[in-house]
Structure 1
Amino acid sequence: MTNPVSRTILLFDIERYSDRDDVEQAYLRRMLYDIADRTLDAAGIEETKRLRADRGDSVMELIDADASLTALLRSLLTEAPAQLRAINRMAAKSAQIRLRAVLSIGFVAIDGQGGWVGSDLNHACRLLDAKLLRAALRERADDFALCISDPVHQGIVRHGHPGIPAEEFHPVALDSKNGPLNAWLHGPLPGTTAGDPAGPPARASDATPPSAPAPAPTPSGPGAAFHFSGGAPSFGGSLVAGDQHGVSGGTVHGDVHLGGTEKDGAR
């Protein structure tokens, strides 16, 4: 096994790949390769600086650490979505391709069988498979959802480089068998709209509870209106009985009994 070396890790995965037949899957794989190649070319990353592993519905790219991470992230935000739009605009519904992507950095070694080994690579794969990232893509009108690791955010995004809007990335904590994984999701969080505040980091296991009905406002002051439907309402221990139709503009219609004092049609 080689010694671990620092790499940029880029992962792409096709949504609902297993739902397609063999012909459609073969087409989607060609489109995935084309999108990955064009995205990396637009970032100025030569083939000699890349290693690719094929996982059927996904591809994994190991990129030399001296390649520009800033240029690659900028290309992921612009070139990858543009390629998807161009492909899907002319494709039949059965051939539409939607992608999840993860960009991370870390140390990776290559074993004697050509396999890739490293906890940083495992971390990136868990981000790609996270329920929250899947939900984010499912809820979006566009065809691309990107998640980046915390080191990528700390090293690149938070510094506000041109073409990389830091405000569009939101912190998330993704559940895994090894505990929560901190990362950053580009675009709105699942269950929100683009204009909603991000709030605290979202968790993959979070579910939006049904909204409880707002409590009825308590009328007060002159001119307050009350409407009753059956029964005799009580206010502060005093009983309002009889055939009440409402209190409007200070006028009480019907019989009112408050603390034993009776006023019939009082004004």
Structure 2
Amino acid sequence: MQERSLLNKVRQINQILQKGDPAPDFREAVRALGLVVGAAVLVAVPDDQVAGSFFPSEASCSLLQQYVESRKQLPPHYAGPLLTAAESRLNIERTKIKCKLKKEEPADCSHGHPGLVTVPIFGGGERLGTMLLHRATGQFSFDDLILAEMGSTLVGMLLTRAREESRQEEQRSKDMASVAFESLSYSEVEAVEEVFRNFKGDEGVVVASKVAGELGITRSVIVNALRKFESAGIIESRSLGMKGTFIRVKNRSALEEVIRSLPRLRSQNEESETRF
């Protein structure tokens, strides 16, 4: 009977991967594991930050939940050896402990003997973090540990995928920035610097004629520079007639990459003009 119960829980976790979704939702995976095991689940990444968590009401410590959800990190007493152990650890808090989350002097844990399991998370050949399962009342079984290790494998896959997607997005931003950067003339470099020097947020209005007058360049230089940025997918623009041009930043990281590179491009252009 116990084996059948474990098998059913294993199948519930496997269903997350069998839904046909090419990119299972990370939060949904954490939530599903918490419901299957009947425990709070916390995914800790470097710097004790909590990348995801789930607290089932019937098995959670409200103080721990409030701390994690408000700060997005683990309490200090959960750091250190707990997050660096190379292997899974079962029922670490076996004895009655002092609660370190109460604002007043630490007192006995009101839940008695909370259960705690830690499982290292690996992905892509490296350690990505640690998964903690916390049960306010009641200890964990070896069956729970089996499910936790299955869950850590799934979470590791999702974290690895998220990191790869982030890396690809960063590379796309650099490629887009390179396209815009390499196509700018010296005058367009000046125009871009002036346009975005005081540009706050991701939206704004630019009056090309005003900028052109301040720089002593033609309005068309500014228009051409903005078109190059728009073609590279960094911004989108819309004419407001006499009021100017509305600009919305579509790719902030690419824009920042270009702005960081502007001094180098200006220097290259100046050297080129000196030679001729």
TM-score band by shorter chain is under 0.3
Higher normalized helix content (fraction of residues): 2
- TM-score normalised by the chain length of structure 1: 0.24
User: Which structure has more strand as a fraction of its residues?
Assistant: 1
Q: TM-score, normalised to structure 2's length?
A: 0.23
